[in-house]
Amino acid sequence: MERRMELVNLYVEAIHDKPHTLFHPPTLVRQAEDGSLPPKILYSVLAMAARVCKDPAVRQLSAGFVELAVEKLKPEIDDISLETIQALVLLGNLYGGGGNNHAEALYFGIAFRMAQILHLPIGSSSDNEIVKETKIRVFWSLYMADLWSSAGHDLPRQMRASDSFLLPMDELQFDQLQLGSHYLETSRPGLWGRMIQLVHVFRDIQDLHRKYVDCGMNDADIEATTWRLSAPLDDFIQSLPENVQLREENIQEHAKKGLGPAFVALHLGYHHYSTLLYFHYLDLRLEQSATVTSFASKCRHHAAAYSDLLRLSWTIPRCKTVYFIVAHMIVVSSATLLHTLLFGEQSELLQARQRLEFNFEALVEMRQYWPAVEQLMERLFIFQRACMWKANQNTHKADRWMVMFLLQHALPVPEKYPGQGEMYTVRDEYADDAMAILRDAE
């Protein structure tokens, strides 16, 4: 029982409210203690927590917990309920982090359909306040998972949202809800609600990348769309309340409340989405107009800011972000930092290399928790080899291959150029040396 509760509490601290928000934490802990938590959920929670445990012996238990969770889930797979959806989402995350991408897509797909059958997030008149809010949070977790997973697997999206749907409430208010309580006044959105506001822009950024390669958008249309999508990103970050703005004292304050990783996750998402939006402008074929150079500078800025925030959060107690998708975002940040190493000013090189080295150290650590990080690291090696191919000096050309690299994180990326590329500048040697941290960790 003691080990069980340690893992449940670790799940709440390290995972919940980051890649998903599926439970009312006090209820989850109470049910785990009194034995009323459905086994398909209990074993999934234990497996997820074991994955990010510092103790290697405990991490080894994760696979066994997954087997038990699946064993309990399969006989109840036609039980269309909130509990089944919660178990499916947990197992989908576990399979994705473990490298079983087909199982991840399948489990998420079943969860999406169940949510549609149940008409989430609409609640029942018999639901108490905790259940009502849990349904809202589960729905938005599925919406978030659909955007990430569908892009990652290059599959059509399934979840649709309405502007009438409530966004998740303040996390601390939710934690304080008790059975039978009725809170008419609630603060919305909370941190997760703000993540949802941001992820709507991520959806449109995905569409921009796909339209560029599939429909042959011209440069003027891409520029106009980039300006249009930059506005909600700028408005979002500028309109954040003082206590949610990205400052170290705010990170510290949220950490004291147990919300440090969720706060960091919100801002990591902002920098990642911004990097993706402007990534096209690293393409050296583009006429280097004032707009192009400004957008390219913004891309490099956000990639660097992502790395800096991740580094800072890993130094603050109770703030470390170790859920799987962080590793993919690290890879995108690193691909952009490589551009700085190859083409930046001499004064930029030292900081770019230091950021890259931290990114690589973070990937190496995260590989201990999530085996699929190995595949992400290999994608980065492939990207580096594409950058160093002597025949093509435009390392960050915006094309179909680059879209695969940026969005389809669950799929293998083929070598862009056959054979072994030759390095053609001193800068390549500098970048290759920086990548040595990953190679040495293999």
pLDDT digits (tens, 9 = 90+) for 113-140: 999 999 999 988 889 899 999 999 999 9
**Mean pLDDT in residue range 309-328:** 95
CB-based contact 112:158 (threshold 8 Å): yes
Beta bridge partners of 20: 16
| Helix or strand (DSSP H, E) at 161 | none
| Helix or strand (DSSP H, E) at 307 | helix 290-313
Q: Give residue 429's pLDDT band: very low, low, confident or very high (50, 70, 90).
A: low
C-alpha to C-alpha distance for 268 and 97, rounded to whole angstroms: 19
CB-based contact 72:40 (threshold 8 Å): yes
C-alpha to C-alpha distance for 369 and 421, rounded to whole angstroms: 32
pLDDT at 427 over 60: no
**Mean pLDDT in residue range 298-325:** 96
Angle ∠(438,440,442) on CA atoms, nearest 5: 75
Region label for 318, one of left (φ > 0), alpha (ψ between -120 and 50) or beta (otherwise): left
CB-based contact 119:392 (threshold 8 Å): no
Which of the residue ranges 114-128, 211-225, 357-371 would you say has the lowest mean pLDDT? 211-225
Which of the residue ranges 9-18, 159-168, 260-269, 342-351 would you say has the lowest mean pLDDT? 342-351
pLDDT, residue 391, reads 47
pLDDT at 417 over 80: no
Please give the share of the chain, as a percent, with pLDDT higher than 90.
76
C-alpha to C-alpha distance for 47 and 93, rounded to whole angstroms: 10
For every residue of 393-424, DSSP letters joined together read: --TT--SHHHHHHHH-TTSPPPPSSSSPPPP-
**Mean pLDDT in residue range 159-181:** 89
C-alpha to C-alpha distance for 348 and 318, rounded to whole angstroms: 31
C-alpha to C-alpha distance for 365 and 174, rounded to whole angstroms: 32
Q: Give residue 436's pLDDT band: very low, low, confident or very high (50, 70, 90).
A: low
**Mean pLDDT in residue range 405-412:** 93
For every residue of 119-141, DSSP letters joined together read: TTT---TT--HHHHHHHHHHHHH
C-alpha to C-alpha distance for 14 and 244, rounded to whole angstroms: 20
CB-based contact 66:53 (threshold 8 Å): no
> Does the pTM exceed 0.85?
yes
pLDDT at 161 over 90: yes
Nearest to 50 by CA among 68, 63, 62, 64: 62
Beta bridge partners of 16: 20
For every residue of 416-434, DSSP letters joined together read: SSSSPPPP-SHHHHHHHHH
Which of the residue ranges 39-43, 143-147, 214-218 would you say has the lowest mean pLDDT? 214-218
- The one-letter amino acid at 184: L
C-alpha to C-alpha distance for 417 and 415, rounded to whole angstroms: 6
Sign of the C-alpha dihedral computed for residues 11, 154, 284 and 274 taken in this order: negative
**Mean pLDDT in residue range 158-183:** 87
pLDDT 10s digits, 71-81: 999 999 999 99
Q: CB 232: neighbour CB atoms within 10 A?
A: 14
How many Å from the N-terminal Cα to the C-terminal Cα in the chain?
A: 37
Q: Give residue 426's pLDDT band: very low, low, confident or very high (50, 70, 90).
A: very low
Instruction: Spell out the alpha helix ranges (H) of 52-100.
Output: 56-59, 62-73, 82-98
- What is the separation of C-alpha 80 from the centre of its chain, rounded to a whole number of angstroms? 27
- Number of helices and strands (H, E) in the chain? 20, 0
pLDDT 10s digits, 258-291: 999 999 999 999 999 999 999 999 988 888 999 9
DSSP state of 16: B
Phi first, then psi: give them for residue 437, nearest 5 degrees.
-60, -45
Nearest to 98 by CA among 361, 324, 340: 324
For the chain, how big is the Rg over CA atoms in Å? 22
pLDDT 10s digits, 220-268: 999 999 999 999 999 999 999 999 999 999 999 999 999 999 999 999 9
For every residue of 165-194, DSSP letters joined together read: SPPPPPHHHHHH--TT---S------HHHH
